Amino acid sequence: MSRPKLKTEATTVKMTPEVKQLWELAATHERRTLANMFEVMVRKYCDDIGIFPQSRPDTHEQAKA
């Protein structure tokens, strides 16, 4: 069974060149895209400190479609 496709959102992030370089190195090390590495890092950080996403009503509707 395939996962339902969810819409993605584009955003802009400003960071120092050093942080960008670390992000790129981490992504390369993990063989991930920058976007995927960012998502993995945010999810891990939130899991580590106990922040979890709240379900949104429109998410359930998209999954049913």
**Segment-wise mean pLDDT, segments of 10 residues, the chain, 65 residues:** 77 96 98 97 96 71 49
Inter-axis angle of helices 17-30 and 34-49, nearest 10: 90
| DSSP summary character for residue 56 | -
Select from 30, 39, 33 the least CA-distant residue to 11.
39
- Quote the Cα angle for 16-20-23, to 5°: 140
The C-alpha atoms of residue 27 and residue 57 are separated, in whole angstroms, by 32
What per-residue confidence (pLDDT) applies to 56?
A: 60
| Full-model pTM | 0.70
